[in-house]
A and B are shown apart, each in its own frame.
Chain A
Amino acid sequence: MSTPKEEALLALAAKGEVEQNLANLSFCPPSRHAAFAAVVAALVGTPAFPQPLRFTALALIIASVYLIVRWDKRRLGVFIRGDRRGKTRMVTFPMLVLLSGLYLTSYYFSIVRKEPGISLALAALTFIIGYLGSVLWQHIFVRELNAC
């Protein structure tokens, strides 16, 4: 008969094993990172559009988010929220602050200064930031699971 300590060790090993399985499963292809980057870039770029088109663009962005969630569920059989508890919040919250700043700057240049070209340039920059942020988030998520 095994001791409580041995059983506890086995239980923790089983937990570690499934966390590693989840880490291995959670591979994100470049297209997934690009999809996230495209959505945030589009959001930052929306002030560059004239008024009626802006709402259409926002509706398309919301539809894209829904499609990405569906894609994740189909591809992985799990859905992982970007704002999940854990070390990934070290990426999520700074990204949120940065993207909010980019959006407000885009809004200022398009709506106040009437320079939509700047908004489009900010959208391109946002795409790069969004892509790298998504890659970093993924890296931290996998590392967190492997360290559990």
Chain B
Amino acid sequence: MPASATIIVGFEPLLQAAARLQVMAVLVQVEQAEFARLKELTSTSDSVMSKHLSALADAGLIKLTKATADGRQRTWVSVTRTGRKMFHNHVAALQRIVAGAADPI
């Protein structure tokens, strides 16, 4: 979206990338999701998913936990309360944009 675009209440620029929105959409439905499964669900590569998860974790929207299973270290991801709220606000903002009812600020 161009920088000059109207700011929509609840719209979260961090979730503008489709893969990030998809990651959050999965995480609000589950307790935890494994890195490889998130990658598969969103059809992204390892490096792209890592970057997205780092950005979301740095912003406090998700938590990353490492655990060992079958001799391999796996990364498990869960949404934070802040992340859940921001995701729902962002989706509501998208729906208002689609409905043509977005209120600029």
Contact = CB atoms under 8 A, between A and B. Distances in A.
Interface in B2-60: 2, 5-6, 8, 16, 18, 21-22, 25-26, 29-34, 36-37, 40-42
Nearest to A80: B30
B100 interface: yes
Interface residues on A, range: 20 to 34
B100 A15 contact: no
Contact of A8 (B6, B33, B42, B98): B98
Interface stretch (A59-67, A71-79, A115-123): A71-79
Contacts of B100: 5
B69 A74 contact: yes
Contact of B5 (A4, A19, A81): A4
B79 to A, nearest CB: 11
Contact of A18 (B1, B5, B34, B42): B42
A21 B29 contact: no
B94 A18 contact: no
Interface residues of B, number: 30
Q: Is the interface of A mostly helix, strand, loop or mixed?
A: helix
A77 B34 contact: yes
A1 B2 contact: yes
A25 interface: yes
A81 B32 CA distance: 9
Contact of A77 (B8, B18, B36, B42): B36
24 contacts: A4-B5, A4-B102, A5-B98, A8-B97, A8-B98, A11-B18, A12-B91, A12-B98, A15-B21, A15-B22, A15-B25, A17-B22, A18-B25, A18-B26, A18-B42, A19-B26, A25-B41, A74-B69, A77-B37, A78-B31, A79-B33, A80-B29, A80-B30, A81-B31
Interface of A: 1, 4-5, 7-12, 14-15, 17-19, 21-22, 25, 73-74, 76-81, 84, 86, 145, 148
Given A14-B22, A80-B30, 8 more contacts: A4-B1, A5-B97, A18-B22, A18-B41, A19-B29, A73-B34, A78-B26, A84-B29
